[in-house]
Structure 1
Amino acid sequence: MRRYARTLVALALTTSVVTGAAGWVSGDAQQALTGPPPGSARWEADRSSLGTELPDPDTSKPSEVASFFKGLDNRQRQLLLLRHPSVVGNLDGVPLELRYRANALALSAAEDPRYRSLAAPGRQILAFDPRGRGQVAEVFGDLRTARRVSVVVPGSDNDAGTFDRRTTAHGAPPGMARTLQREAGPGTAVIAWTGYTTPVGVGVDAATGRLAEAGAERLTRFAEGLTADGLPEPAVFCHSYGSVVCGLAAHRLPATDLVVLGSPGMRADHVDALRTRARVWAAKDPTDWIDDVPSVRFAGLGHGADPTDPAFGARHVPADDARGHSGYFAPGTDSLRAFAAIARGGTAREGATR
Structure 2
Amino acid sequence: MTAAGYRVAPARLDAVAGESGSRAEALASAQSAVAGEKLPAAAFGRVSESAAAAKTFEKTMTELGGKLGSHVSRLRTIQSGLTASAAGYRRADAQVAAMYRALLPEDPLPRAGNPAGVGGAADTGAWARAIAGNRVKVADALTAERARLAALTDAEEIARSRARIKLYEDILANDRQILRFDAGGNGRIAELVGHIEPGTRNVGLFVPGVNTQMSNFDAYAGLGRSLVAADPAGRTAVVVWADGVFPQGPVAQGPDAGYARAMAPDLKHFADDLRGEIASHAGSGVTLTAIGHSYGGATVGLAETHGLDVDRVLHVESAGMGHGVWSPSDLPASQAGVQRFSMTAPLDPIVLAQGNAWGLEWTGIGHGADPDVFPGVTELGTGDDADGSPLWGVSSHNDVLKPGSDSWTNIYRVLTAGGSVAP
Match of 2:345 among 267, 282, 285: 285
Distance in structure 1 (CA, Å) of the matches to 2:339 and 2:248: 30
Deviations 1:177-203 (A, max 9, x none): 122222344201011111111000113
2:270 aligns to what? 222
Match of 2:223 among 152, 176, 187: 176
Letter in structure 1 aligned against 2:224: A
Letter in structure 2 aligned against 1:264: A
* Unmatched tracts of structure 1, length 5 or more: 1-48, 50-68, 79-88, 165-171
1:317 aligns to what? 380
Q: Shift of residue 304 of structure 1?
A: 2.8
Counterparts of 1:96-111 in structure 2, within 5 Å, are 96-110=127-141, 111=144
Q: Shift of residue 94 of structure 1?
A: 5.5
Distance in structure 2 (CA, Å) of the matches to 1:250 and 1:76: 40
CA 294–279 in structure 1, closer or farther in 2 if over 3 Å, else same: closer
1:253 aligns to what? 308
Q: Shift of residue 228 of structure 1?
A: 2.2
Distance in structure 2 (CA, Å) of the matches to 1:155 and 1:141: 22
Distance in structure 1 (CA, Å) of the matches to 2:274 and 2:104: 18
Counterparts of 1:260-339 in structure 2, within 5 Å, are 260-267=315-322, 268-275=325-332, 276=335, 277-293=337-353, 295-297=355-357, 298-299=359-360, 300-309=364-373, 312-321=375-384, 323=391, 324-339=396-411
Distance in structure 2 (CA, Å) of the matches to 1:266 and 1:320: 22
CA 305–107 in structure 1, closer or farther in 2 if over 3 Å, else same: same
CA 290–77 in structure 1, closer or farther in 2 if over 3 Å, else same: farther
CA 230–183 in structure 1, closer or farther in 2 if over 3 Å, else same: closer
Q: Shift of residue 76 of structure 1?
A: 5.5
Q: Which moved more, 1:240-249 or 1:145-154?
A: 145-154
Structure number with greater CO (CA < 8 Å, separation at least 6) is 1
1:29 aligns to what? none
Match of 1:75 among 102, 106, 125: 102
Counterparts of 1:144-155 in structure 2, within 5 Å, are 144-145=197-198, 146-155=200-209
2:172 aligns to what? 119
Letter in structure 1 aligned against 2:174: P
Q: Shift of residue 306 of structure 1?
A: 1.4
Contact kept, 8 Å, 2:318 with 2:354, in 1: the verdict is: no
1:84 aligns to what? none
CA 288–94 in structure 1, closer or farther in 2 if over 3 Å, else same: farther
Distance in structure 2 (CA, Å) of the matches to 1:342 and 1:244: 19
Distance in structure 2 (CA, Å) of the matches to 1:216 and 1:129: 18
SS at 1:308 equivalent: helix
SS at 1:191 equivalent: strand
Give the TM-score taking structure 2 as reference length. Answer: 0.56
CA 317–107 in structure 1, closer or farther in 2 if over 3 Å, else same: same
Q: Does the alignment pair 1:237 with 2:296?
A: no
Give the helix-richer structure, 1 or 2.
2
1:16 aligns to what? none
CA 105–313 in structure 1, closer or farther in 2 if over 3 Å, else same: same
How many residue pairs get aligned? The number is 261
Q: Shift of residue 217 of structure 1?
A: 1.1
Q: Shift of residue 272 of structure 1?
A: 4.7
Q: Which runs of 4+ in 1 moved over 6 A?
A: none
Distance in structure 2 (CA, Å) of the matches to 1:235 and 1:274: 17
Give the TM-score taking structure 1 as reference length. Answer: 0.66
Deviations 1:202-234 (A, max 9, x none): 134310210101110111111111122344562
Distance in structure 1 (CA, Å) of the matches to 2:301 and 2:339: 13
Letter in structure 1 aligned against 2:383: D
RMSD: 2.9
Distance in structure 2 (CA, Å) of the matches to 1:202 and 1:77: 50
Q: Which moved more, 1:207-216 or 1:326-335?
A: 326-335
SS at 1:259 equivalent: strand
Distance in structure 2 (CA, Å) of the matches to 1:294 and 1:341: 24
SS at 1:192 equivalent: strand
Q: Shift of residue 294 of structure 1?
A: 5.8
Letter in structure 1 aligned against 2:384: D
SS at 1:137 equivalent: strand
Match of 1:209 among 249, 257, 261: 257
- The structure with the largest alpha-carbon Rg is 2
1:21 aligns to what? none
Q: Shift of residue 270 of structure 1?
A: 2.7
Distance in structure 2 (CA, Å) of the matches to 1:134 and 1:200: 12
